[in-house]
Amino acid sequence: MVREVLDRRSFLLLGAGAAAASCRMLSAGGAGEDLSVRLAALERGGRLGVAVLDTGTGTLRGHRLDERFALCSTFKLVLAAMVLDRAARGERGLDVRLAVTAADVLKHAPVVAAAVEAAAARGSEPALLALADLAEAAQTTSDGAAANLLLRDLGGPAAFNGFCRRHGDGVTRLDRYEPEMNDVRAGDVRDTTTPRAMAQLVARLASGGLGGESWQTLRQWMVATKTGAARVRRGLPAGWVAGDKTGTGGGDGVTVKCNDVVWIEPPGRAPLVVACYYDTGVVADWPSATDEEVLAEVGRVVASGC
């Protein structure tokens, strides 16, 4: 059984109005072992890491909690938090606009590409995009160009890692920009995290690491995100409020990565943070429906204990 109880003071804001009841699998003595067994059965030859953190009790359980997995685009959740945090501290407002040109556009850049095209049609290059719009695009659509622009503006990977360290995460690391950071192969620790580290980081941000208004903005963006519709959220009961940030990798001889970091609000109880990292072990260009169904089943496993 793997169990960790975090500093309860860090969850004071979350626990204040939460119901006392907790998911059975997060509070019952032997349920953690059962959870790990059920998650291991989903791996199908790949490697599945999952952390389930109950913000009401601070209890964390899961499978492969401390193994490293490729971040892929889940780093953009933290990146958006950095933008909001910097603005809340009065250092650089969300309305500050960055110049964007065709050279910034990547393969997946739906918001940035549209802005560049619109500016070109008007004959007014470069396009100008507000930090708030870039952060929202990085989170809700996983726009890679928006993420690169923000990461450079914030100070690069070193600044990202510093933010993680200041919020108690000594594990998560970012080393490269999009799209190179998605090329993570066996034994490479660059651009990786662990399920435990990411779940704890998100919980800390929610419980005071970000100011209340900043957290609410990030939470709203997570809920508005559509890229995870077929992953963990698909396995949750209708009526549950949830938001997430996905991460996906593959191609060029890299095994497919299918990730999802989820904020879940079951009715009548404290929220959960679920950090799912799935390296399928299969070299392909993109996750299959079967790969995404593994994460949907994680959602069902989590919900079955509530």
What is the rounded distance in angstroms from the CA atom of residue 141 to the CA atom of residue 184?
22
Instruction: Return the residue matching tokens 């070193």.
Output: 158
Is the four-CA dihedral 296, 302, 304, 306 of positive or negative sign? negative
User: 48: which strand partners?
Assistant: 278
- Indicate left, alpha or beta for 69 from its phi (over 0: left) and psi (-120 to 50: alpha): beta
Residue 65's contacts (CB-CB under 8 Å, 6 or more residues apart) are: 2, 49, 51, 194, 195, 196
Is 10 noted as a catalytic residue in this protein?
no
Q: Which long-range contacts (CB under 8 A, 24 or more apart) does 34-37 make?
A: 35/61, 35/62, 35/63, 35/301, 35/305, 36/1, 36/2, 36/61, 36/62, 36/63
**Do 184 and 191 form a contact (C-beta atoms < 8 A)?**
yes
What is the rounded distance in angstroms from the CA atom of residue 287 to the CA atom of residue 274?
20
* Amino acid at site 166: R
What is the rounded distance in angstroms from the CA atom of residue 65 to the CA atom of residue 195?
5
**Do 151 and 75 form a contact (C-beta atoms < 8 A)?**
no
User: 249: which strand partners?
Assistant: 257
The residue annotated as part of the active site, out of 10, 22, 36, 73, is 73
What is the rounded distance in angstroms from the CA atom of residue 71 to the CA atom of residue 190?
9
Q: Which residues are catalytic?
A: 73
